[in-house]
Amino acid sequence: MSVVTIEGVTKTFDGGTTALEGIELAIEEREFVSLIGPSGCGKSTLLRIIGDLIRPTAGTVRVNGKPAAQARADRDYGIVFQDAVLYDWRTIARNISLPLELARWNRRRRGERVQEMLRLVELSGFESHYPWQLSGGMQQRVSIARALSFDPALLLMDEPFGALDEMTRERLNLELLRIWEASGSTIVFVTHSITEAVFLSTRVVVMSPRPGRISDVIEIDLPQPRTAATREEPRFFELVTRVREALHLGSDHDRDLTAPRTAEAPS
Amino acid sequence: MSIAPVAVQPIPRGTLAGRVGKRALDWVPALVVLVLVLVVWQESIAVFHIKKFLAPQPTAIASTFWTNRHELISAGWFTFQEALGGFAIGCGLALVVALVLARWRGVGRALMPYMIAANAIPIIAFAPIMNAWFDPFSKFSKMAIAAVLCFFPVLVNTLRGLTSVRPQSIELMQSYAAGEIETFRRVRIPTALPFIFTSLKIATVLAMIGAIVGEYFGGAFTALGVLIDSRSTTFQFKEAWAGIAVACAYGIAFYLAVALLERLTLRGMPSTGD
pLDDT digits (tens, 9 = 90+) for B147-159: 989 999 999 999 9
Cα of B168 vs its chain's centroid, Å:
34
> Do B86 and B143 touch, CB atoms closer than 8 A?
yes
Please, how many CA atoms are within 13 Å of residue B81, restricted to the half-sphere of its CB?
11
Judge: B175–A77 Cβ closer than 8 Å, yes or no. Answer: yes
Judge: B171–A79 Cβ closer than 8 Å, yes or no. Answer: yes
Judge: A78–B175 Cβ closer than 8 Å, yes or no. Answer: yes
Question: What strands lie across the sheet with A213-219, from one edge to the other?
Answer: A77-80, A154-158, A186-191, A32-36, A203-208, A213-219
CA B87-B89-B94 angle, to 5 degrees, is 90
What's the confidence (pLDDT) of residue A251? 57
Sequence-distant (6+) residues with CB within 8 A of A183 are: A120, A148, A151, A155
User: Which residue in A81, A101, A164 is closest to B168 by CB distance?
Assistant: A81
What's the confidence (pLDDT) of residue B268? 63
Rounded to a whole number of angstroms, the distance between the first and last alpha carbons of chain A is: 35
For the residues B205-211, what does the mean pLDDT come to?
91
Question: Which residue from A minimizes the CA distance to B194?
Answer: A89
Most confident of A172-186, B47-61, B227-241: A172-186
Per-residue pLDDT band at B241 (split at 50, 70, 90):
confident
> Do A86 and A141 touch, CB atoms closer than 8 A?
no
> Do A166 and A135 touch, CB atoms closer than 8 A?
no
In this predicted structure, the answer to whether residue B16 has a pLDDT above a threshold of 70 is: no
Question: Strand, helix or coil at A214?
Answer: strand
* Closest chain A C-alpha to B166 CA, distance in angstroms: 9
pLDDT digits (tens, 9 = 90+) for B18-42: 445 556 777 888 889 989 998 888 8
Digitized pLDDT (tens) for each residue of chain A, 267 residues in all: 788 999 988 888 888 888 888 889 999 999 999 999 888 888 999 999 999 999 999 989 999 989 999 989 989 999 999 888 999 889 999 999 999 999 888 999 999 999 988 988 888 889 888 998 898 889 998 999 999 888 888 999 999 888 888 888 888 898 889 889 888 899 999 998 999 999 999 999 999 888 888 988 999 988 888 888 888 888 989 999 999 988 887 655 444 444 444 444 444
* Closest chain A C-alpha to B34 CA, distance in angstroms: 37
pLDDT digits (tens, 9 = 90+) for B56-75: 888 888 888 888 888 888 88
Question: Is B7's Cβ below 8 Å from some Cβ in A?
Answer: no
Question: Is B178's Cβ below 8 Å from some Cβ in A?
Answer: yes
In this predicted structure, the answer to whether residue B88 has a pLDDT above a threshold of 90 is: yes
What's the confidence (pLDDT) of residue B215? 86
> Do B69 and B246 touch, CB atoms closer than 8 A?
no
Phi, psi dihedral angles at A153 (to 5 degrees): -70, -25
Per-residue pLDDT band at B197 (split at 50, 70, 90):
very high
User: Which residue in B1, B186, B266 is closest to A163 by CB distance?
Assistant: B1
User: Which residue in B5, B174, B268 is closest to A130 by CB distance?
Assistant: B268
Question: Is B166's Cβ below 8 Å from some Cβ in A?
Answer: yes
Query: How much of chain B is in helix, strand and coil states, percent to nearest 5?
Result: 75, 0, 25
Question: Is B233's Cβ below 8 Å from some Cβ in A?
Answer: no
* Closest chain B C-alpha to A201 CA, distance in angstroms: 24
